[in-house]
């Protein structure tokens, strides 16, 4: 069974600016998890469409209950393939992204379409779709729910990162505030504490039966 998710987004910048910003997204304060990006393949088709494939390396800390199913060197990083097709005449850009690391445990495929907003030609609309699946018997539903929750959080950061890069390109002051940074760090600390508490509770439960 596959978990499907779809949402829309809006960037208040024109398509040309968004297209340029797409290739300059990293680094930004919302993408500290992106370690490297490498172009594997790129060509221009006879119809002047730009086709690209990139390899991204990201940190991807799995929850403790999932780490037991991963080799140690794979538990904190992931490799992602990103394909993209840009049509400058139609002013469209389509991207398809999927993980190649521990894909049997959890596979996440994402498809995004960037187009001119029909109500305001100075803005760009995004249609985002995702398919999340797992082949782990007995845990697939839990893993899919975890993947969906993480994906939704990632979408929020992706949009904020896009807006940050666009603001810098246009000579504006990015809107990331100290309060926002502190809130994000507090959430990350709380999540880490929650995982640690679960791990300690699990260990205590095991000792009762030793």
Q: What is the tens place of the pLDDT at every residue in 100-129?
A: 988 888 899 999 999 999 999 999 999 999
Domain range for 73: 2-175
Number of structural domains (the chain) is: 2
Percent of the chain whose pLDDT exceeds 90: 60
Q: Is the pLDDT of residue 4 over 50?
A: yes
Q: Which of the two residues, 172 and 150, has the higher pLDDT score?
A: 150
In terms of Cα–Cα distance, which of 115, 99, 103, 113 is closest to 58? 99
Task: Give yes or no: residues 185 and 131 share one domain.
Answer: no
Q: Which of the two residues, 65 and 98, has the higher pLDDT score?
A: 98
d(CA 86, CA 38) in angstroms, rounded, equals 18
Q: Which of the two residues, 188 and 154, has the higher pLDDT score?
A: 154
Task: Give yes or no: residues 34 and 99 share one domain.
Answer: yes
Average pLDDT over all residues of the chain: 85
Task: Give yes or no: residues 186 and 139 share one domain.
Answer: no
C-alpha neighbours within 13 Å on the C-beta side of residue 93:
23
pLDDT at 113: 98
Q: Is the pLDDT of residue 183 over 60?
A: no
- pTM of the entire structure? 0.77
Task: Give yes or no: residues 135 and 205 share one domain.
Answer: no
Helix (H) or strand (E) holding 145: helix 140-169
Task: Give yes or no: residues 95 and 181 share one domain.
Answer: no
Sheet strand arrangement including 77-87 = 2-11, 124-133, 107-116, 92-99, 77-87, 50-59, 34-44
């Amino acid at each position: 069974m596959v978990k499907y998710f779809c949402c829309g987004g809006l960037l208040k910048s024109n398509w040309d600016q968004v297209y340029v910003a797409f290739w300059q997204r990293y680094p930004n304060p919302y993408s500290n998890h992106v370690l490297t990006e490498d172009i594997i393949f790129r060509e221009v088709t006879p119809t002047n469409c730009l086709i690209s494939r990139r390899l991204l390396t990201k940190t991807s800390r799995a929850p403790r209950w999932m780490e037991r199913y991963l080799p140690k060197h794979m538990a904190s990083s992931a490799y992602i393939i990103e394909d993209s097709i840009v049509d400058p005449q139609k002013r469209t850009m389509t991207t398809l992204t999927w993980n190649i690391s521990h894909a049997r445990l959890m596979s996440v495929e994402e498809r995004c379409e960037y187009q001119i907003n029909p109500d305001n030609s100075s803005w760009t609309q995004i249609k985002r779709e995702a398919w999340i699946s797992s082949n782990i018997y007995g845990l697939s539903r839990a893993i899919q729910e975890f993947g969906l929750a993480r994906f939704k959080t990632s979408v929020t950061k992706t949009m904020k990162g896009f807006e940050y890069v666009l603001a810098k390109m246009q000579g504006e002051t990015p809107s990331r505030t100290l309060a926002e940074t502190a809130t994000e760090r507090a959430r990350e600390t709380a999540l880490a504490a929650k995982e640690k508490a679960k791990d300690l509770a699990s260990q205590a439960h095991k000792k009762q039966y030793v």
